[in-house]
């Protein structure tokens, strides 16, 4: 085999409950991930040494060097198996960069699966998931897709049942938001409100039973009623312009509007695919329709 292409989905958080800041600086999360049908592709081709190239939306904002999460994934996999990372990685980007949709994490999961297949390593699911967790909190979910509850930093996953299809519209904002900056702003706002920002101050985050039931039930209207994102006030504080985008989606008929993860992408849940198309048209050329749940990383060829 000389080349392997893997397709990997973006995610939206249908619940993002953020606990207090831990002594290690991370936050405990109850993070309900839903994979959505916006995909990057990662192609691994046999080569003499590790190189990385890319094309597609926002590619100018993606570092095409050893700091790329896909390159880090290839290096970590090769190290685990005691081999050299002899591969050319090519990323076809369609997931917004720094948009709160786990695009970098998707590429890392895609590169792991593509390299594992190219190099014929046959790593177990457990080995791949543990490498994913080392690479980043959202990477394990990019590998498995569907819907899952992530606890800890978000990397400890339990798959969730989904009883239907959820049509979404996503509007990527120009300029990204740094995820660590959004967490810092969340802490700052909590201190400003007098709530404190440590694990001693903030109740431990838990998954909302009503939200898990809504996912199982498969009704967009029921899910829309229980969507939450504890990072949304921080994202809006850093990017006040997002409020107008959220309001425009609601005015265009969305059942619910929220910031995706740490933002700045805005996510709109629609009643059905026709409604999603109408909302996307109203929101303009930056809007994209995508249905959920989508499968995780899959080898295409």
Give me the least distance between CB of 230 and ligand ATP, in Å please: 14
Closest-CB residue for ligand ATP? 104
Give me the least distance between CB of 18 and ligand ATP, in Å please: 13
Interface residue list for ligand ATP (CB under 6 A): 61-63, 68-70, 91, 97-105, 107, 138, 176, 179, 261-262
Q: Is 11 a catalytic residue?
A: yes
Give me the least distance between CB of 164 and ligand ATP, in Å please: 24
Q: Is 138 a catalytic residue?
A: yes
Candidate list 58, 107, 138, 197, residue with the active-site label: 138
Nearer to ligand ATP, 58 or 252 (CB): 58
Give me the least distance between CB of 89 and ligand ATP, in Å please: 9
Nearer to ligand ATP, 139 or 275 (CB): 139
The string of DSSP codes covering the chain is --EEEEEEEEEEEEEEEEEEEPTTS-EEEEEEEEEEEEEEEEEEEE-SS-EEEEEETTGGGS--STTSHHHHHHHHHHHHTT----EEEEEEE-SPTTSSS-HHHHHHHHHHHHHHHHTT----HHHHHHHHHHH-TTHHHHHHBSEEEEETTTTEEEE----S-EEEEEEPPSS---HHHHHHHHHHHHHHTTS-SBTTTSPPP---HHHHHHHHHT-HHHHHTT-EETTHHHHHHH-TTHHHHHHHHHHTT-SEEEE-TTSSSEEEE-SSHHHHHHHHHHH-TTEEEEEE--B--EE--
Give me the least distance between CB of 72 and ligand ATP, in Å please: 8
**C-alpha pair distances (Å), 117 with each of 88, 178, 300:** 14, 32, 11
Candidate list 11, 58, 72, 116, residue with the active-site label: 11
Nearer to ligand ATP, 109 or 275 (CB): 109
Nearer to ligand ATP, 99 or 220 (CB): 99
Catalytic residue positions, numbered: 11, 138
């Amino acid at each position: 085999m000389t080349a392997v292409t893997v397709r990997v989905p973006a995610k939206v958080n249908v619940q993002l409950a953020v606990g207090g800041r831990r002594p290690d600086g991370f936050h405990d999360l109850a993070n309900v991930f839903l994979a959505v049908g916006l995909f990057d592709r990662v192609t691994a081709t046999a080569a003499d040494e590790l190189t990385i190239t890319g094309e597609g939306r926002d590619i100018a904002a993606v570092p095409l060097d050893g700091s790329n999460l896909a390159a880090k994934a290839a290096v970590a996999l090769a190290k685990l198996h005691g081999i050299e990372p002899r591969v050319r990685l090519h990323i076809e980007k369609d997931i917004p960069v720094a948009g709160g949709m786990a695009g970098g994490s998707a590429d890392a999961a895609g590169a792991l699966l593509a390299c594992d297949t190219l190099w014929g390593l046959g790593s177990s699911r457990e080995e791949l998931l543990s490498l994913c967790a080392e690479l980043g909190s959202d990477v394990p979910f990019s590998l498995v897709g569907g819907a899952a509850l992530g606890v800890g930093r978000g990397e400890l996953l339990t798959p969730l049942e989904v009883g239907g299809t959820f049509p979404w519209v996503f509007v990527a904002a120009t300029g990204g938001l740094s995820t660590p900056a959004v967490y810092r702003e969340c802490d700052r706002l909590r201190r400003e409100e007098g709530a404190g920002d440590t694990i001693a101050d903030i109740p431990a985050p838990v998954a909302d039973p009503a939200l898990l039931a809504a996912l199982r039930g498969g009704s967009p209207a029921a899910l829309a009623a229980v969507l939450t994102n504890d990072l949304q006030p921080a994202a809006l504080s850093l990017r006040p312009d997002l409020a107008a985008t959220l309001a425009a989606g609601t005015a265009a008929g969305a059942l619910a509007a929220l910031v995706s993860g740490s933002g700045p992408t805005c996510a709109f849940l629609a009643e059905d695919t026709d409604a999603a198309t109408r909302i996307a048209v109203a929101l303009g050329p930056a809007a994209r329709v995508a249905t959920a749940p989508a499968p995780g990383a899959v080898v295409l060829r």
